Amino acid sequence: KNEVEQSPQNLTAQEGEFITINCSYSVGISALHWLQQHPGGGIVSLFMLSSGKKKHGRLIATINIQEKHSSLHITASHPRDSAVYICAVDSGGGADGLTFGKGTHLIIQP
Amino acid sequence: AAGVIQSPRHLIKEKRETATLKCYPIPRHDTVYWYQQGPGQDPQFLISFYEKMQSDKGSIPDRFSAQQFSDYHSELNMSSLELGDSALYFCASSLLSADTQYFGPGTRLTVL
């Protein structure tokens, strides 16, 4: 079973700061997902990565397959970025379910 | 663009009752996943279906069953409900070949 570790668990920062959230996993994967969950529960897929780097707006996600590590970066953070960010991995092919990290609670203060 | 639809959004049941949760995937998606997220917990994978066949099974209790229908929608049937079944139940859909899962808004089940 893949073990997914995220750090930090909680992060409070000021508006405009550069944010980094880290994720490591124990077993090789076919894909890694970064998800965002707002209070009230809805989950939004931000990125799906199998290699390299992806950018969407102020969000950047990178993955290092050899080191089994991924990072999610937020540039010019804003209070509306406040949410729980979850790393989840797909450990195999086919319709395998994701294994989730515990999430990082991010609060961006004005 | 059409998203994953779940119904109902909220459900309150008594212990030992049954509940049925429904999930309508994004059109043309062939794979459906069910996840359970207890209060303060990370989501846990329950079960998935590909082309109407069960594909993978996670930590789904024997009291729960699920199926995917010919129109690709899926239903999660939960019987003999327990207090511990109170959770947010997410459905996600994908194209098997594409890996990216798109999540529905969830059904919040409260068992009293």
Q: What pLDDT is attached to residue B8?
A: 96
What amino acid occupies position B35? Y
Q: Work out the minimum CA distance from B26 to partner chain A, whole angstroms.
A: 14
Q: B45: closest CA among B82, B90, B79, B10?
A: B90
- Test A33 with B100 for CB contact under 8 angstroms: yes
In chain B, whose CA is at the least distance from the CA of A30?
B99
- Residue A40 makes CB contacts below 8 A (sequence gap 6+) with none
B46 chain-A contacts, CB cut-off 8 A: 97
Question: Taking residues A70-87, what's their average pLDDT?
Answer: 97
**Contact at 8 Å (CB) between B112 and B12?**
yes
The residues of B whose Cβ lies within 8 A of any Cβ of A are 31, 33, 35, 37, 42-50, 55-56, 58, 88, 90, 94, 96, 99-103, 105-106, 108
**Contact at 8 Å (CB) between B32 and B76?**
no
pLDDT digits (tens, 9 = 90+) for B61-111: 999 999 999 999 999 999 999 999 999 999 999 987 666 888 999 999 999
In chain A, whose CA is at the least distance from the CA of B102?
A45
- Test A97 with B37 for CB contact under 8 angstroms: no
pLDDT digits (tens, 9 = 90+) for A3-51: 899 999 999 999 999 999 999 999 888 889 999 998 877 888 899 998 9
Per-residue pLDDT for B57 more than 70? yes
- Test A95 with B99 for CB contact under 8 angstroms: no
Q: Would residue B86 be called left, alpha or beta, if left means φ above 0 and alpha means ψ between -120 and 50 degrees?
A: beta
Closest CB to A41 among B44, B50, B106: B106
Q: B19: closest CA among B92, B68, B91, B80?
A: B80
Q: Would residue B91 be called left, alpha or beta, if left means φ above 0 and alpha means ψ between -120 and 50 degrees?
A: beta
pLDDT digits (tens, 9 = 90+) for B6-28: 999 999 999 999 999 999 999 98
